[in-house]
Structure 1
């Protein structure tokens, strides 16, 4: 099966272990290592406690390396495996600085860097003194400016609603004969169009396979309408993986608080479509409306109880390795070509954490042999 596989990079100290982990992933045949771009984690401090999970003994909840720095440190030590961020935004990172950083990474990693971009998440933006109004509009303008700076040696002038640049220049060339790739996290129609007009790849989270195929077609059509060559476009996905040795273990893990809490990211409409009251009733989604550091214990527990375990199976790929392979095959049939296997098993059962990485290797091997 013609599909690539990515895994998460290590997000916390010690940094040398992150390099060793990535080198092991390369030895195991994985095609990319990806880092999230978070200042604040999705879990509130109020439930990051030992009575919820023993994982909480080993790290503070909001502990994250800067992804671009880790891409540089790790990517320079790998032979072929790519390094990426899934995803950062152009609110915290000025588009000129983001372009300069990507091109620098392109050289340091010798062409192995992928910049994943999205419109941003309120929890990483607003608490840190950055305005979060009109995130999609800002994203499109900022990405347009970023592309302009990367695609010409001439001074760039642009006056938009959200950003103005005047006589801006950026002469750093790419490492090879193509600009380093930018992949876009997109779900809604507007973001899918932006992905087609500006992106080299696509990084959504899980959705039904038929919707994945239709959305991919929307992206390709938008790119072709803009006059772009879409033959090299890479349809990917960030897929949460809850893997166990048997279905009983998997079902038990879907009930665990930290696993259920990840589903707070889903749009409220998804809960309604599944027949449930959204845990953030009256708000759009966790991406745009949720700030964990402001959530006390009682509210965190209410949110967990409001998320039915069946929603976990909608949002994550849950099952034995064989079952997850069967779940992924329809996505490949609908165009998926780069799957990031984002292992969340430790949130469900820390004792299965080590086994789960063997499970990921089994999933990769079975799909590549299919």
Structure 2
């Protein structure tokens, strides 16, 4: 059973170097390049200093993100084989009609290699910018219907009457590049989102969970697809996997204990912390949807980091030597994983290991593909 490997595209300027890096990724044998769709990063401003990370001496802010669709266009036009996608966007900031047009344009620019990765969104990209944070899953569900409708309407005018989106005599004359519209992959974890993936998705892009939970969730997706009368023979089960790669066990443990890595774990819902025997760091009533990094004081940063032990980092990220990571990935492959986005965060935990980790990631890709 073959497995594909993706990696993140460049997030910060200079953009020309980011495009060149994308070309090199195709040459290195990667199958996909993925860009997050963020206005704000996850690390609080009060944490982005040299007390916490040497990276702060070279990058003034943790909130530097290029537009993913523009980068997909630039890299897609310079490559021939590799897929390009968002990992992931939401339909709160971006109207589904505009998303449909953008993706059809990218479909032509890349000759069928553009993928729309979507999720319900995070409040940090919404509320601080004056956009209403309300019913994100409901809006995603309707938005997916609108996107599918417009991308397959041809020259026909279409109507749609929903709670959140409405079309009246709407048209999208731009046809797909090939016989099918661009693929849509969903970042889904809970039952409702897994149901949407089965009904609308061409792929699945969750964050890391146990292999057993991965298989169960994949079965739920397939069951929902069957109930919807969909044939998903070409469906791609994927995963966004944060990677911590060390040359030895001591370095791996140091990476897991890094405050910068532990803070990233704030992304997990409360029930995951509870399943690990760890009190949710934002309290029982709160969660990552309430987390706005530009509003977190330094003392709260210290408290949150202290509340997230390294075992939580180990649950959230793939961590180990190249050989250990190959074993871990193989277990997920047996559970149905077919496209792993290897999001290398080693340099976040220890910048001195950054160069080593990118070389090791290439070795890991080749080792798993060759096994």
TM value normalised by structure 2? 0.98
SS in 1 for 2:88: strand
Q: Match of 2:144? A: 143
Aligned to 2:169: 167
Residue by residue, what CA displacement relative to the aligned partner does 1:287-319 show, whole Å, maximum 9, x if unpaired?
A: x22111110111111111100011000000000
Residue 187 in 1 paired to residue 181 in 2?
no
Which range is displaced more, 152-161 or 64-73?
A: 152-161
**Aligned match of 1:200:** 202
Describe the superposition over 1:122-171 as per-residue Cα deviations: whole angstroms up to 9, x where unpaired. 00011111111111111101111111111223222122111222111111
Q: Confirm or deny that 1:83 pairs with 2:89.
A: no
Once the two structures are superposed, the pairs formed by residues 109-148 of structure 1 within 5 Å of their partners are: 109-148=110-149
Deviation at 1:98, TM superposition (A): 0.3
Q: Tell me, which stretches of 5 or more residues in structure 1 are unaligned?
A: none
Q: Check whether the contact 2:204–2:239 (CA below 8 A) recurs between aligned residues.
A: yes
Distance 2:152 2:78 in 1: 28
Cα deviation, residue 284, structure 1: 4.9
Distance in 2, matches of 1:126 and 1:165, equals: 26
1:11 aligns to what?
A: 11
Cα distance in 1, alignment partners of residues 193 and 286 from structure 2: 16
User: In the alignment, what sits opposite 2:24?
Assistant: 24
Q: Deviations over 1:77-134 (max 9, x none)?
A: 0121111110001111100000000000011111111110001110001111111111
Q: In 2, distance between residues paired with 1:188 and 1:46? A: 32
Matched-pair contact (CA < 8 Å) for 2:319–2:325: yes
Instruction: Give the direction of change, closer, same or farther, for the CA distance of 1:5–1:308 in structure 2 (3 Å limit).
Output: same
RMSD: 0.9
Long gaps (5+) in structure 2 = none
Report how far residue 282 of structure 1 moved.
2.7
State the distance in 2 between where 1:114 and 1:141 align.
19
Task: State the number of aligned residues.
Answer: 369
Counterpart-to-counterpart distance in 2, 1:46 and 1:16: 30
Asked if 1:152 corresponds to 2:153, the answer is yes
What TM-score comes out, normalization by structure 1 length?
Answer: 0.98
1:36 aligns with 36
**Whole-angstrom CA distance in 1 between matches of 2:86 and 2:57:** 27
Distance 2:285 2:352 in 1: 36
The answer (yes or no) to whether the contact 1:254–1:309 under 8 Å persists in 2 is yes
What is the distance in 2 between the residues matched to 1:231 and 1:26? 26
Q: Residue by residue, what CA displacement relative to the aligned partner does 1:328-347 show, whole Å, maximum 9, x if unpaired?
A: 11111111000000000001
**Cα distance in structure 1, aligned partners of 2:158 and 2:227:** 24
Q: CA deviation at 1:285?
A: 3.0
Q: Which residue of 2 aligns with 1:293?
A: 294
Determine if contact 1:183/1:202 at 8 Å carries over to the other structure: yes
- Whole-angstrom distance in 2 between the partners of 1:306 and 1:245: 27
Query: Equivalents in 1 of 2:194, 2:286: separation in Å?
Result: 18
State the SS of the aligned residue for 2:33: strand
Which of structure 1's runs of 4+ aligned residues deviate more than 4 A?
none
Q: Which of the residues 283, 290, 298 maps onto 1:281? A: 283
Q: Tell me if the contact between 1:259 and 1:348 (Cα under 8 Å) persists in the aligned partners.
A: yes
> Following TM superposition, by how much is the alpha carbon of 1:283 offset from its aligned partner in structure 2, in angstroms?
3.5
The equivalent residue for 2:93 is: 92
Residues 152 and 175 of structure 2 are in contact (CA less than 8 Å); yes or no, is this contact kept in structure 1?
A: no
Partner of 2:307: 306
